[in-house]
Amino acid sequence: MPNVLITGCSSGIGRALAEAFKAAGYDVLASARRKDDVIALNQAGFHAVQLDVNDATALKALAAHLGELDVLINNAGYGAMGPLLDGGTEAMQRQFETNVFSIVGVTQALFPALRKRKGLVVNIGSVSGVLVTPFAGAYCASKAAVHALSDALRMELAPFDVRVMEVQPGAIDTHFAKNAGAQAELLINEQSPWWPLRDGIRARSQASQDKPTPATVFAADVLKAVQQSQPPRLLRSGNGSRALPLLAAWLPKGLLETVLKKRFGLNGSM
């Protein structure tokens, strides 16, 4: 029975992926950071692992216990919303620790297990790393970094027959928008120079739920790609996952920025 370790399985994409792979006959190791979520995953029939993806000691212990691994899905992450200068470097650090640094840390810890099985690393990026929008700069930057490190890892792991697949979801029906909205509300305050534009900030935090694709459909797409004899280097799935990168590639940069500024209330002067 092939096995798969999926990070960030408490809800949303991670939980949908865990269910899809379990139904396909995989031995699913589903990780979550909070103890309550681990208990819920165990009750659902998964081999749940309590894991903070930024905890090097926990990763070392997991690697020693695991031994061999067929598929690693680096899914854990979150979206920090709001003006870049409101969040500052502290918000950027938190965003990159979870969305970027953890991918390197988890993959590094589990590389020996993946090498034994000539396994596959799946990194969950986002179309937001391709088409950058205002009020999501930290998130967009982190996902662009995921795309870059995925390309580098693919080449560096090739001599060991460990493959790397990058996934760029579009709008997926998850709790992402709710969580992003809560993050944005914590940041929005009357002292911010962007306070008059708070409706635009709120609109961006909810943009991922614009006609979203069900998480089950997305998970089925990922499973199908993983099961191919030669998994693709890049998989796009979900509403907007193909159209938005095309817009970013073909529209003149100035025109694209004009459209986005108008969409999020940045076309005036303050």
Catalytic residues: 139
Pair of tokens at residue 3: 């096995």
Task: Look up residue 102 and give its two tokens.
Answer: 């953890």
Give the integer Cα–Cα distance in Å for 34 and 53. 12
Tell me the chain's radius of gyration from C-alpha atoms: 19
User: In this structure, which long-range contacts are made by residues 243-246, counting pairs with CB atoms below 8 Å and at least 24 apart in sequence?
Assistant: 244/127, 244/130, 244/131, 244/170, 245/127, 245/130, 245/131, 245/168
Q: What phi, psi does 76 have (nearest 5°)? A: -55, 135
CA distances (Å), origin 107, targets 10, 27, 160: 20, 19, 14
